[in-house]
Amino acid sequence: MKKLLRETIRRILSENHEDSYPTMMKYLNGSKKDVVHVLELANTLGLIRIVSINPDPRETQKGFYTCSFECLEPEFREYIRVNKLSRREKPTVWWKFPPYTDMVEIKIMTQGGV
């Protein structure tokens, strides 16, 4: 019964995902904990496909969290690109948007209270 309820909730959310872009972006511009949670939600909703998390153990040791993901909804990638905080506004976060692809990478410095 719980599984059916979860699937129903996911289906309802996924049908109205564009309305949730501003809320998701608020959390993507938040702390590492917020970013991890919203990426998991977006993955569950089918907006993205997580390709890799912390691919380089040396980066993790240096205090970085890195996640690469493919946007399955092109509008979501563009929404992220336009609404992300700049390096000046959020110096502990790096965004990469490789050209000619739907990929996005976020790298967060986790040392120092992030």
Span 47-64, average pLDDT = 86
Q: What percent of the chain has pLDDT over 90?
A: 56
Q: What's the mean pLDDT when you consider all of the chain?
A: 85
Q: Where are the domains of the chain?
A: 2-109
Facing residues of 80 across strands? none
* Residue 49 CB neighbour total at 10 angstroms: 14
Give pTM, 2 decimals.
0.79
Q: In Å, what is the CA distance from 67 to each residue of 2, 32, 104?
A: 30, 11, 8
Return the pLDDT at 20.
83
Return the pLDDT at 113.
42
Phi, psi torsion values for 72, nearest 5 degrees: -85, -15
* DSSP H or E stretch at residue 99: none
* DSSP H or E stretch at residue 27: helix 21-28
> What secondary structure letter does DSSP report for 93?
E
